[in-house]
Amino acid sequence: MKIALLGAGKTGSKVTKIHDDVVIFNTTNPPKLEELQKCDVVVSFLPGEAFLDHLDLLIESKLPVATGSTGFDWPEDIDQRLKENQLSWIRAHNFSLGMNVVREMIKQMSTLAKLFDDGSFSIHDIHHVHKKDSPSGTALSWKQWLNEEVNITAKREGDVVGYHHLEFDSADEKITLVHEAKDRSIFARGAVWAAKILTEDDSLEKGLLDFNEVVKTKINL
Of all helices (H) and strands (E), which one includes residue 89?
A: strand 88-91
**Nearest alpha carbon to residue 211 among 83, 91, 72:** 91
Residue 130 bears catalytic tag: no
Angular region, 141: left φ>0, alpha ψ -120 to 50, beta rest:
alpha
The number of beta carbons lying within 10 Å of the beta carbon of residue 173 is: 11
Contacts (Cβ under 8 Å, ≥6 apart) of 21 = 1, 2, 3
The C-alpha atoms of residue 150 and residue 131 are separated, in whole angstroms, by 22
The residue from 10, 83, 124, 131 that is catalytic is: 131
| 131 is a catalytic site residue | yes
Backbone angles phi, psi at 127, to 5 degrees: -140, 175
**Catalytic residue from among 19, 54, 93, 127:** 127
d(Cα 93, Cα 138) in Å, to the nearest integer? 6
Active site residues per annotation: 127, 131
